[in-house]
Amino acid sequence: MDATYNLNGGFKPTMKRFADLAGPDYFPTPAWATHALMENEKFVGEIWESACGDGAMSRVLESRGNPVRSSDLFDRGFGTAGIDFNTATTPADNIVTNPPYNSAESFVRSGVKLARNKFALLLRLAFLEGANRANTIFAECPPARVWVFSERITFYPAGAVQAGSGTTAYAWFVWDKGAPAQTELKWFRPGYKAQFSKVV
């Protein structure tokens, strides 16, 4: 039995990425997916990348001009290791990250509490589903905007040859302390993948 197959009542959508249950398996975020967010959302002040892995997302954030603080629960050679975002108490102006599958809901709770301005999580679009989330997260603290990718993101283990296309739809969920308490559904224009795949 694959222990990562059923998590929080949802089934694993693809074999290309699985839950990071013990730490050694992680899937860096393609640079173009982070660039798409930064092209459409303005972040004022520091950005905390709280699940930085090998720094793939942090390097993109840094290239955009914001000061970036990087940390991870595990030591993957980048940022400050040993920081558990789910129990952290240090606030930040903004938080942008791609959480482990099995920690998405707890990351939302921590991020909403710790971010002064904006908090953005890269999640499966299917995160919108579920009675439990409807009655808790989305009822109590709905995101201001959900940015849906028109192109599929494929996640690979670090160092793997990248080929093919993903089978799972993803979106950036953005909580904005300065926005009305309602959710706006938006779509990224096609073309970010080609535009930014060969840059940081």
For residues 171-180, average pLDDT: 95
What's the pTM value of the predicted model, to 2 decimals?
0.85
What does the pLDDT average to over 87-93? 97
Residue 164 pLDDT: 56
Q: Residue 123's closest CA among 102, 104, 140, 138?
A: 104
Q: What is the mean pLDDT of residues 181-198?
A: 91
- Position 166 scores a pLDDT of 64
Please identify which residue in the block is written with the tokens 């009675």. 131
Beta-sheet strands, E only, within 62-166: 68-72, 80-81, 92-97, 115-124, 145-148
pLDDT band at residue 197 under the 50/70/90 scheme: confident
Who has greater pLDDT, 134 or 3? 134
- Return the percentage of the chain with pLDDT > 70, whole number: 80
Q: Which of 7-16, 101-110, 129-138 has the lowest mean pLDDT?
A: 7-16
8 CB-near residues (< 8 Å, 6+ apart): 102, 104, 105
Q: Which H or E run includes 20?
A: none
Burial of 54 (0-12, 13-18, 19+ CB in 10 A): middle
Q: State pLDDT tens for residues 128-167.
A: 999 999 999 999 999 999 999 999 998 866 655 555 566 7
Q: What is the pLDDT of residue 6?
A: 38
Write down the pLDDT at residue 162.
55
pLDDT (mean) for 165-171? 82
Confidence class of residue 8 from pLDDT cuts 50, 70 and 90? very low
Separation of alpha carbons 83 and 110, rounded Å? 13
